Amino acid sequence: MSIIAVNNLTKYYGKSRGIVDVSFQVEEGEIFGFIGPNGAGKSTTIRLLLSLIYPSSGSAAIFGKDAIQHGPVIRQEIGYLPSEVFYYERMKVIDLLKYSASFFPGDHTARMHELAEYMELDLGRRIDDLSYGNKKKVGIVQGLLHRPKLLFLDEPTSGLDPLMQRKFFQLIREENQRGVTVFFSSHILGEVQRLCNRVGIIKEGRIVEISDIRTLQQNNYKKIRVAAGELNPAYFAAAGVTDLEHANGVVRFFFKGDINTVVQQISSLNVTDVTIEEPTLEEIFMHYYE
C-alpha cells in the first residue's frame, strides 16, 4: 500500500488552471521531492491532499483512505509545514503549541520541548513578535510534535538561516530513519538533491517526470564539455544533443542517449580537454522548463 496515491487529480479554480491530471505514488519511508517553479501547482497539490480544497476531478488516497472522506482521521497522522506559516497572533508560542498538541491523542509535552530546544525556539514569546524565520521554527515544532507518520513540507527552508536549514535537514533525516514518509515540495533543487530519494517534476500543473533521483541524474543526461583547436559545433549536432554552446574553442552540450556515439565522435578529434559529468538537478530541471 502506498502512503500517498494520487490518481488523475485535477483542480481548476474557475477557469484558471491549478493542476491537471496529476498521478503519482509515494511509498512508505520515502522522501519524495516535489519540484517545480512558483505557480506550477505544488501547493495546490498539497492543499488537495490535506482537503483544504477539493478536486475538480480525480482522487487521492493517504494511508489507503480517501483523502476527502477520511480527512480528519488521516490528519491525525500528518504533520504539515506550509510555505508561509500563520498562527493566531495574540497567542504565546507555548500556548499555540499546547493548543495544537491538544488535538492529538497522547502527551506531547516532552517532544515539544525537545524540538523547541533543538530548533532554538523561545517558547515564551508572542507569535506576532516573531520574525519570519522564528515563525517557521514554530511551524516545524508544531508540525512534528505529535510524531506524525507523514510529513508535508512546502518550501520548508525559506526564512531559515543556513545553520538552521542544516539542523532542519538533520531533523527530517532522523524522522525519516524512524520510518516517517516525507513529501518535500521545493523549488530549490540543491536541497531536494541532498534529501530526496525520488522526485516528481511538475510544470504548469502537469507532472512531466517522476523518477529516482539517481536515475534522473545518471541515465538521462550527460553534461559534456570538449575543448579542441579546430572545432565546428555543428559536428556534434545530432539526435540527443541539446543546449549546444560554443565559445573560445570550447563546446558544451547536454546529451541523452548511447554515450558511445559521442565518445566515438570525440575520439576522432584532436582534443585538448574533455569532461563528461552528470548534470546537477538544477540543470535537468531547467531542461524540462525550456
Residues that bind another protein (CB under 8 A): 13, 47, 50, 52-54, 71-73, 75-76, 78, 80, 82, 84-90, 99-100, 102-104, 142
Enter the C-alpha cell of residue 237: 549536432
Which CB sits closer to another protein, 52 or 237?
A: 52
Which CB sits closer to another protein, 71 or 240?
A: 71
Residues 6+ apart with CB under 8 A from 6: 22, 23, 24, 25, 45, 49, 58, 59, 60
- In whole angstroms, the minimum distance from the beta carbon of 151 to another protein comes to 12
- In whole angstroms, the minimum distance from the beta carbon of 106 to another protein comes to 13
- In whole angstroms, the minimum distance from the beta carbon of 152 to another protein comes to 9
Q: Quick one: which of 158, 160, 91 has its CA closest to 120?
A: 160
Which CB sits closer to another protein, 84 or 212?
A: 84
Which CB sits closer to another protein, 142 or 217?
A: 142
Enter the C-alpha cell of residue 67: 483523502
- In whole angstroms, the minimum distance from the beta carbon of 50 to another protein comes to 5
Long-range contacts of range 125-134, CB-CB < 8 Å, 24 or more positions apart? Answer: 125/92, 125/93, 126/89, 126/90, 126/91, 126/92, 126/93, 127/87, 127/88, 127/89, 127/90, 127/91, 127/92, 127/93, 127/96, 128/89, 128/90, 130/93, 131/159, 132/159, 133/159, 133/160, 133/161, 133/164
Could you give the CA distance from residue 159 to residue 165 in angstroms, rounded to a whole number? 9
- In whole angstroms, the minimum distance from the beta carbon of 12 to another protein comes to 11
- In whole angstroms, the minimum distance from the beta carbon of 82 to another protein comes to 5
Which CB sits closer to another protein, 12 or 169?
A: 12
Which CB sits closer to another protein, 105 or 162?
A: 105
Which CB sits closer to another protein, 104 or 118?
A: 104
Residues 6+ apart with CB under 8 A from 228: 249, 251, 269, 270, 271, 272
- In whole angstroms, the minimum distance from the beta carbon of 84 to another protein comes to 7
Q: Which residues of 135-149 are buried (b: 16+ CB within 10 A; e: fewer)?
A: bbbbbbbbbbbbebb
